[in-house]
Amino acid sequence: MLVPERPNKKLNETEDTLAIKEYLLGRLALTKQEEVEQRLLADDSYLENVLIAEDELIDEYLGNKLSAQERDSFRRHFLSTPERGEKLRFAQTFRKYLESNSSLDSLGESKADQSPSWFQSLKFSLRASNMATAFSLAAALLFAVFAGLLFIRDRNLQRQLEELRTENTNSTKASDSQTDKEAQQRLALESQRNAQLNADLQRAQQQRQQLEADLARLEKEKERQTPGGSISGRSFMTPVLALGGVRSETSALREVSIPKGTGVVSIPFRVDDDKYQRYRASLITDSGQTIQTRNNLKPREINGQRVVVFTVPAGAISPGEFQLRLIGATRDGRSEPIGSYYFRAVKQ
């Protein structure tokens, strides 16, 4: 029996999307706003929904698909943070790219290739559009196979029983003792086969359980090894790093030793110039990969030094050379590159 949960789910998804859009525009009623925010904080997948809705809202704005009121809310409310301004600029550039590379042919796929095959359609209908149907069909198929096997086995047993009865009746007069002996032998053979089948089944179940346990262990290990994902509970503050000129190729690389069991690493670095109100810092590996960027970092005093503290999960730092690239934001909102702080991370 099918449960009609898919339409409801779709309805909920649409309601969610609409609520998030209104929330992003600052137009949601307070009670609804609190519902959205509580989910934003407590529900892992909800943040991604909000981020997707941000992109879609920007696209709608650029494509002139918002109403006059929505456009007004978009400009006044949505664009109130620098990060969203950056997202908007990126979307404009991306749009420009798509417009100037508008031919789908350039993507290397003809229209004919794009038509889904009957197998893809079937696979899709099973996998994507209705998971409940897919599970029901799979369960029904398994049940049918099982029922079929049981039916065949039952028929075989019945036939054997009939044969035994017939033989028994026909040969009562001839040799009762001989028939009994044969029947007992057959029954013993059948029982032996059953025992063997049961043992095989049990062994298969044990193997499956072992495989499942191995899989769970491997997944856990993989999760631990994911960059940025391996974090323990304690925090650790490194010594203050100094810029030492614009770039520090000439000076020896500062070694930063991170104790075992560290969850979060705080890296303070000295900023002498008070020209900047805010800083943006990016932690970059020696191969040029950006691990983390922090915006709006503010300078503070530590032991009489003006420093900015950059915080990063310890799991994101593997032993090797790093640079902290620093950009300052002036009072008029312009950003200026300042320099890089170089260090070598060592794990204890």
Partner 1 sequence: MENSPVRNKDWTLTQESFDQLLGWLDPDREISGRKYEGIRTRLIKLFACRGCAESEDLADECINRVAKKLPQIVNTYEGDPALYFYGVARHIHQEYLRRPAPAPEPIPQTDEESEHEYECLNKCLEELPPDSRNLVLQYYHEEKKAKIDHRKEMALRLGIAVNALRIRAYRIRATLQGCVHACLERKQFERI
Tell me: does residue 132 bind partner 1 (CB under 8 A): no
| Tokens read off for 343 | 């260090």
Beta bridge partners, 196, equal none
Binding flag, residue 245, partner 1 (CB under 8 A): no
Tokens of 142: 């398994």
Q: Give 258's strand partners.
A: 347
Residues whose CB is less than 8 angstroms from the CB of residue 183 and which lie 6 or more positions away in sequence, other chains included? 164, 167, 168
CB atoms near residue 306 (< 10 Å): 13
The answer to whether residues 265 and 238 touch, using CB atoms and an 8 Å cutoff, is yes
Amino acid in the structure at residue 331: R
Q: Which two tokens stand for residue 216?
A: 């769970």
Give the separation between CA 340 and CA 242, rounded to whole angstroms.
Answer: 9
User: Which parts of 288-317 interact with partner 1 (CB under 8 A)?
Assistant: 288, 290, 293-296, 298-300, 313-315
Rounded-to-integer distance, Cα 295 and Cα 279, Å: 7
Instruction: Indicate whether 146 belongs to the interface with partner 1 (CB under 8 A).
Output: no
Name the minimum Å distance from CB 319 to partner 1.
18
62 in contact with partner 1 (CB under 8 A): no
129/198 with CB nearer partner 1: 129
- Kindly state whether residue 24 participates in binding partner 1, applying the rule CB under 8 A: yes
- Output 50 or 164, the one with its CB closest to partner 1: 50
How far apart are CB 216 and partner 1 at their closest, in Å? 15
Does residue number 268 form part of the binding site for partner 1 (CB under 8 A)?
A: no
Question: Which listed range, 143-151, 157-165, 167-175, 330-338, lies at the site for partner 1 (CB under 8 A)?
Answer: 330-338
Query: What residue spans of the chain are helical by DSSP H?
Result: 5-24, 30-42, 46-62, 68-76, 82-100, 111-114, 118-124, 131-170, 172-225
The amino acid that residue 119 corresponds to is F
Sign of CA dihedral 272, 273, 277, 280: negative
- Our finding on whether 185 is near partner 1 (CB under 8 A) is no
Binding segment for partner 1 (CB under 8 A), chosen from 159-167, 192-200, 205-213, 224-232, is 224-232
Q: Is residue 328 close enough to count as binding partner 1 by CB under 8 A?
A: no
Residues 97-116 that bind partner 1 (CB under 8 A): 97-98, 101-102, 104, 107-109, 114-116
Q: Using the rule CB under 8 A, which residue among 69, 80, 198, 251 binds partner 1?
A: 80
Of these, 231, 240, 242, 258, which contacts partner 1 (CB under 8 A)? 231
Least separation, in Å, of the C-beta of 188 and partner 1? 53
Question: Which of 48, 154, 167, 272 is close enough to bind partner 1 by CB under 8 A?
Answer: 48
